[in-house]
Structure 1
Amino acid sequence: MLALARPIRYARTIPINPVLRQFHSAPSPLAQYHFDTADYVTRLESHGLSRTQAEGVIDTLEEIIGESIQTMQGNLVTRAEQDKHHYQQKVDFASLKQTLELSEKTDFVNLKAENERLLGDIERLKQRLREEITRTQAGVRLDLNLEKGRIRDELSTRVVKLADVDTRIENEIGLLRTSMEAVKFNILQYAFAVMSGTGALLLAYLRMFAH
């Protein structure tokens, strides 16, 4: 029992290499590790433990090591799982690439269709603009022709009116000339009558004084 008073020598903790968490094609050496429990029981007995105590310690250590190995094995990945994961990544990448290519083609087709639609709209707008310009020019020409016709008609009407006025003036002038000629003739007749009467009176007066 005095041996139990000895200080317990703790085993040095060995850090687990991070490489163990990477992928492996073969099982870990820890999974195949076995130790001689009888030898360790004997060693513990040599340090003052009873056989029952030594066997209990060894059983506990065996359980702890087994659980540790199972935990580490749970964190490891087999070669088959690695290949499966790699294949799945390749499939996902190929699917993503195909999806991107299809999306790019779809976007290109949609962009091309949209561009063609815009070109069609622009062409239709140009056609409508040309038609509107042609219609406007035709309307302007029609208005100009109508205005020219109206001006010609108005000029013709004014020419007719001026000709009518000229005719009236000529008629009035002719009537005035006729009236003046008649007045002149009447004046001449009156003067001739006066002169004839005056001459007759003079002759009568001269005859009267001659006798």
Structure 2
Amino acid sequence: MNYTSQHPSRARPEERSGGGCVVGEAGWVGPEAGCSHRSEEMTGGGYSASLFGRVGRAWPGPFSAWVPQPPRALLSPLPRRGLAATHPRKSYDVRRVEITPPEQRKVTFDTHALVRDLETHGFAKEQAETIVSALITLSNVSLETVYKDMVTQAQQEITLQQIMAHLDSIRKDMVILEKSEFANLRAENEKMKIELDQVKQQLMNETSKIQADSKLDINLERSRVTDMFTDQERKLMEATTEFHKKDSNTNSIISEISNKIDTEIASLKTLMESNKLDTIRYLAGNGDGFRLLKQRTSLQLLSSNRLNLLHRKTGFKNMMVWLGKV
């Protein structure tokens, strides 16, 4: 399958006219050999190229018999582009290292034998030399790509020494930083310890002050309560003494009043008895006077009872008035 079968709408005028292609210095095959075309397409930053298509039938081996075919369409040569290589990777202390100049490098295969083999398989001498030249160019480009990531043993030792020097410098910096950091941490630790001691001392002072104030307040309150209790006991004792005193006075007054009442009652009884005897004597001489005597006696008893009750009420009222005043 060629370019025309894949892209019929893109067939070039030379291809429609049935012309062949020539392999020159750019890699094109001439009409006398009936070669295939080369397609190039841009992909990203570089391009991929199919340098040589199938010529005639497919080759079962690298140098099998080649059967010529009718000449194919001549493709217009595209502008030549240099082979693009990948960008070199960034590494530690990157520097360009010249391994071997391209003109001094040895070819990795026998170019003369390859040219003769290509001539044996139907290629012209110029075509075979062009193919071999292209292969050498590709080999050199591949070696250049590989050499970009390679260094010599001497350069490797130099780089290793540089890395070790950098590591020693970093180690020294780390030691200095560690010492300075430890010194700073030690100073900060001492400062924090002093501050903590000050705070602890301040807290202890405040605690002692609060305890002293609390003890003083408790002692003052206890003294006040004790004084109040003593005062109340004293007042209670005074009240009890006064009560007993007034009770004794009241009892003496009651006894005195009772004695007076008893004396008055006795005198009244004596008076009543004398009156009774006088009345009996008077009525003894008069028969009708017995009834009057009886009535008089009843009236005397009633008046004496009323008098006793009145005396008792009066004495009790006087006693209550005196107690109320006390």
Number of the residue aligned with 1:22: none
Q: Aligned partners of 1:182, 1:63: CA distance in 2, in Å?
A: 165
Number of the residue aligned with 1:98: 187
Identical aligned pairs, as a percentage? 10
SS state of the match for residue 146, structure 1? helix
Distance change (3 Å), C-alpha of 1:174 and 1:187: same
CA-CA distance at 1:120 after TM superposition: 2.3
Q: Aligned partners of 2:269, 2:145: CA distance in 1, in Å?
A: 171
Amino acid at match of 2:225: T
What is the total number of aligned residue pairs between the two structures? 162
Cα-to-partner distance string for 1:69-89 (whole Å, 9 max, x where unaligned):
769946862544432331111
Number of the residue aligned with 1:158: 247
> Per chain length, whose mean CA-contact separation is higher, i.e. which structure has more relative contact order (CA < 8 Å, sep 6+)?
1
Number of the residue aligned with 1:77: 166
Amino acid at match of 2:259: E
Q: Aligned partners of 2:274, 2:142: CA distance in 1, in Å?
A: 183
Q: Within 5 Å, which residues of 2 pair with 1:1-211?
A: 37=100, 44-45=105-106, 47=108, 57=143, 61=147, 64-65=150-151, 73=162, 77=166, 79-182=168-271, 190=278
SS state of the match for residue 144, structure 1? helix
TM-score (norm 2): 0.38
Amino acid at match of 1:65: V
Runs of 5+ consecutive residues of structure 1 not aligned to the other structure: 1-30, 198-211
Moved more, 115-124 or 162-171: 115-124
Structure showing greater Rg? 2
Aligned-residue CA RMSD in angstroms? Answer: 4.7
Cα-to-partner distance string for 1:90-109 (whole Å, 9 max, x where unaligned):
11111112112222222232
Moved more, 61-70 or 151-160: 61-70
Q: Aligned partners of 1:148, 1:187: CA distance in 2, in Å?
A: 57
CA-CA distance at 1:59 after TM superposition: 9.5
Distance change (3 Å), C-alpha of 1:74 and 1:178: same
CA-CA distance at 1:124 after TM superposition: 1.9
CA-CA distance at 1:178 after TM superposition: 3.6
Q: Aligned partners of 2:164, 2:103: CA distance in 1, in Å?
A: 31
SS state of the match for residue 65, structure 1? coil
Q: Aligned partners of 1:185, 1:111: CA distance in 2, in Å?
A: 108
Moved more, 157-166 or 71-80: 71-80
Number of the residue aligned with 2:86: none
Q: Aligned partners of 1:130, 1:141: CA distance in 2, in Å?
A: 16
Cα-to-partner distance string for 1:23-70 (whole Å, 9 max, x where unaligned):
xxxxxxxx9xx99847x975x427559999779947963774289776
Moved more, 49-58 or 168-177: 49-58
Q: Aligned partners of 1:71, 1:77: CA distance in 2, in Å?
A: 10
Distance change (3 Å), C-alpha of 1:182 and 1:59: closer
Amino acid at match of 1:169: S
